[in-house]
Chains A and B, each alone.
Chain A
Amino acid sequence: KNEVEQSPQNLTAQEGEFITINCSYSVGISALHWLQQHPGGGIVSLFMLSSGKKKHGRLIATINIQEKHSSLHITASHPRDSAVYICAAPNSGGGADGLTFGKGTHLIIQP
């Protein structure tokens, strides 16, 4: 079964700062997911990636399959980016699988 570790658990930064959240997993996977959850809110899928790098607006996700490591970056951070960011990997590595989640990174961006 996959184990997913995220760091940091909590992150407070000033508006405009460059943010990096890290994720590592134990079992080789077909794809890794990055999710966003606002307090009391639903879950939004930000990225699903299996190699290299993906970019959407100010968000960038990278993955290194050999090292079993992924990062989520936020450029020019803004208070509305404040949320919990969660990485998730397939339970047993395959794609047709439920997900194992990291504990999440609580991000607060102060104006």
Chain B
Amino acid sequence: NAGVMQNPRHLVRRRGQEARLRCSPMKGHSHVYWYRQLPEEGLKFMVYLQKENIIDESGMPKERFSAEFPKEGPSILRIQQVVRGDSAAYFCASSLVAGAGEQYFGPGTRLTVT
């Protein structure tokens, strides 16, 4: 039973380009969370999605960032017109149930903006 998959594991983008980060939750999991870890900082919540719905995006920057979790396929975190400050590790996690569900983390995508 594969764990949470994220790709790519490393992504390099030049300023102004778009970054697309993908997250495939564990089989059967319909809850996906995205977190960001800036260099030398702690993890911060970005967004919580269920299939086809954004439940809580209170941690998402208001501009340039968007997330989706379509009926079929992985969840996508999209960053438009990247800037150097977007360089970070982006982790997704998935859980099976609402309520006190354990979250399983993916290996992360390390985004570097040059």
User: Which positions in A face B, CB cutoff 8 Å?
Assistant: 30-31, 33, 35, 42-45, 48, 50, 86, 88, 91, 94-104
Within 8 A of A (CB), among B93-114: 97-108
How many residues on the B side are at the interface (Cβ–Cβ under 8 A)?
Answer: 27
Which of chain B's residues have a CB closer than 8 A to the CB of A86?
A: 42-43
Q: What are 7 A-B contacts with C-beta separation under 8 Å? A: A44-B105, A50-B100, A95-B99, A98-B56, A100-B45, A102-B42, A103-B42
Whether B43 lies near A101 (C-beta < 8 A) is: yes
Question: Given the interface contacts A86-B43, A101-B42, A101-B43, does A95 sit within 8 Å of B101 by beta carbon?
Answer: yes
Whether B105 lies near A45 (C-beta < 8 A) is: yes
CA distance A50 to B100 in the complex (A): 8
**Residue of A31, A86, A97 most packed against chain B (CB within 10 A):** A97
Question: Given the interface contacts A42-B107, A102-B42, does A31 sit within 8 Å of B56 by beta carbon?
Answer: no
Question: Given the interface contacts A44-B105, A103-B42, does A98 sit within 8 Å of B59 by beta carbon?
Answer: yes
Closest to A94 in B: B99
Q: Name the distance in Å between A59's Cβ and chain B's nearest Cβ.
A: 16
Whether A98 lies near B48 (C-beta < 8 A) is: yes
**Residue of A33, A48, A86, A99 most packed against chain B (CB within 10 A):** A99
Which of chain B's residues have a CB closer than 8 A to the CB of A100?
A: 45
CA distance A76 to B35 in the complex (A): 32
